[in-house]
Amino acid sequence: MSVVVIVRFPSDDPGKAVEWARAHADIPEDITAHAKTLGQIGHRILVGDKELVVIDEWPNEESFNTFFSGAPRMGEFLSGAGLSAAPVVSVLQAVDAPGTFWT
C-alpha cells in the first residue's frame, strides 16, 4: 500500500505563497515533474489559517524522502513563496478499508 504524506508549512499569508507560485509557474511545474519521475502518485496544495499544506501520495516513504531531500528548485520555491519556517511532515500508511477511495 502507498503512503500519504502531509507537509505543513507555517505561513503568515498562505494566499501570497499561492500567488507567488502562480506567477512563477515554471518552478512548481519543474518540481512536480521531478517528483513524478520518482513515483509520486498524487499531489494537492491547500491553504489554512496561517499554513500552506501539501498532501502527496507516494509508493513508499523512501521515494518521498529522496524527493524532499534533493528536489531541484525546491529551495527556490520555498524562498520565493515565503515559506522559510521548518515544515511539519507526517507520513501515514494508506489502508485499504471499506468505503475508502482516492482520486
Q: Is 81 part of a structural domain of the chain?
A: yes
**Within its chain, how far is the Cα of 24 from the centroid?**
17
Nearest Cα neighbor of 103 from 55, 52, 62 is 55
Q: Is 23 part of a structural domain of the chain?
A: yes
Q: Is 102 part of a structural domain of the chain?
A: no
Q: Is 101 part of a structural domain of the chain?
A: no
Residue position matching grid coordinates 485499504: 96
CA distances (Å), 94 to each of 37, 83, 101, in order?
Answer: 21, 28, 10
Number of domains in the chain: 1
Taking the whole predicted model, whether its pTM rises above 0.95 is answered as: no
Q: Is 98 part of a structural domain of the chain?
A: no
Q: Is 55 part of a structural domain of the chain?
A: yes
Q: Which domain holds residue 31?
A: 3-93
pLDDT tens digits along 40-93: 999 999 999 999 999 999 999 999 999 999 999 999 999 999 999 999 999 999
Give the CATH number of the domain where residue 8 resides: 3.30.70.100
